[in-house]
Amino acid sequence: MTYRLLVVDDEPDLELLIRQKFRRQIGAGDYVFVFARDGEEALARIAADPGIDLVLSDINMPGMDGLTLLTRLKEMPGHMRAVIISAYGDMKNIRTAMNRGAFDFITKPIDFDDLALTIARTLADLQAMRAAERQRASAERARTNLARYFSPNLAHHLAEHPDVLALGGERRDLSFLFTDLAGFTPLAEALDAAVIVKLMNDYIGGIAGAVFEHGGTVHTVVGDAVYALFGAPLAQTDHAERAVACALAIDAFAQAFARARSAEGIAVGVTRIGVNSGPAIVGNVGGERFFHYTAYGDAINTAARLESANKVLGTRICISGETVRRIADFAGRPIGTLVLKGKDVGIDTYEPLNSIGCSTRCATSYRRAFKKLAAGDPQAVSAFAAHVGRYQDDALAAFHLKRLLAGEAGTRIALTHAPA
């Protein structure tokens, strides 16, 4: 590395002496010396050559002296070190120089061996400071990049402890959340580009904000869809509870968002959410050059399928029994046992109570009808019919009534095709 040094002194012989004493470093390209006769000329040199690393300046010079030059150097941007040359015993000026930002000093007559050591020590400190600055900038860039996927506190932790995201993976118990906005494609085609971009920025920003508020990780955003996970990279014993709370927060945000856009004349569809929990392999598998923190496992696919199932069920949130069993005080109602396409084993599913939008009396009425449905009671039809008559906005109850009227029975629901 080549360092650029500015020597400021009104003695003309000093330039010849320095070029002679440092001829080896100059020849090797380690040092490039620039010279000025006073402070004003030094400032002009720096303005013309902003790459100056070290200023070596006498104190007593005609025109602008060395102390004034030090004050001006402190006002300049960038990182530059200054070493002051002073007469032996001139401690008052030396102390003033150090207070004004000089890194070190040497005394006249100049001992060139001491000067060489002082220059080397000063440049080493400058190099260390610049390395620390680069490290801080790199950490800040890392935090900025991580903040796209993780909550601010978690992003800061990961930037400070990068070993957490080291290459490799491990099997963990996690929770997964998928969202999808109904009718996004025709909406995107109908609106101007600037309008749809702002709309989606606000929409995705709200969903990501809810994920971050609940300590989740945004894994992927594709169009209007968001995939988030809970319990990684930092372990969370309450990851299932966080995922359900996040789903409810997203549901509340999405409904408010749709109402606000409707007032502007923009019809935004329903946001559907699926949540599932289970074992998965999670880790950074992107290689040394590419960061890709991801998870693999059937539990993830199930969460995505549950999101899609909402379209058939008429619900907005569909949560698996695996998630519910990990929450001590889950409040919700049963949907039924879904048999997903390609699966033989059914999945118990639930809808959180406060996402239903009906009173406790409505929830109690639904449970009574569902109990009859689960028991194979012929009175289930009349129970659901009466319930739907009282609570006409209960889409899930209407779904079960339609099944019963079509001759189906029980709570086992076969989804023979993957819902769109």
Equal fold, 3-144 vs 170-355: no
Q: What is the pLDDT of residue 420?
A: 46
CATH topology of domain 3-144: Rossmann fold (3.40.50)
Structural tokens at position 94: 């030396």
User: In CATH, which superfamily holds the domain spanning 170-355?
Assistant: Nucleotide cyclase, GGDEF domain (3.30.70.1230)
pLDDT, one tens digit per residue, over 44-83 is 999 898 889 999 999 888 888 888 888 898 888 777 899 9
Q: Where exactly are the structural domains of the chain?
A: 3-144, 170-355
pLDDT for position 291: 59
H helices, E strands: number in the chain? 15, 14
* Angle at alpha carbon of residue 176, lines to 170 and 181, rounded to 5°: 145
Collapsing DSSP to helix, strand or coil, 172 comes out as strand
Q: Residues 163-211: pLDDT tens digits? A: 655 556 789 999 999 999 999 888 888 889 999 999 999 999 999 999 9
pLDDT at 93: 80
The CA distances from residue 73 to 7, 50, 105, 307, in Å, are: 14, 12, 16, 62
Q: Which residue has the tokens 């300046």?
A: 57
Helix, strand, coil share (%) of the chain residues, nearest 5: 50, 25, 30
Give the pTM. Answer: 0.67
**pLDDT average, residue stretch 254-264:** 95
**Confidence (pLDDT) at 88:** 58
pLDDT at 166: 57
Confidence of residue 355 (pLDDT cuts 50, 70, 90): low
Is 259 strand, coil or helix?
helix
Got the DSSP string for 347-409? EEEEEEGGGT-S-HHHHHHHHHHHHHHHHT-TTHHHHHHHHHHH-TT-HHHHHHHHHHHTT--
- The residue type found at 417 is H
Long-range contacts of 393-398 (CB under 8 A, 24+ apart): 393/357, 393/358, 394/356, 394/358, 394/362, 394/366, 395/313, 395/314, 395/315, 396/313, 396/314, 396/315, 396/333, 396/335, 396/351, 396/356, 396/366, 397/366, 397/369, 398/314
369, β-bridge pairs = none
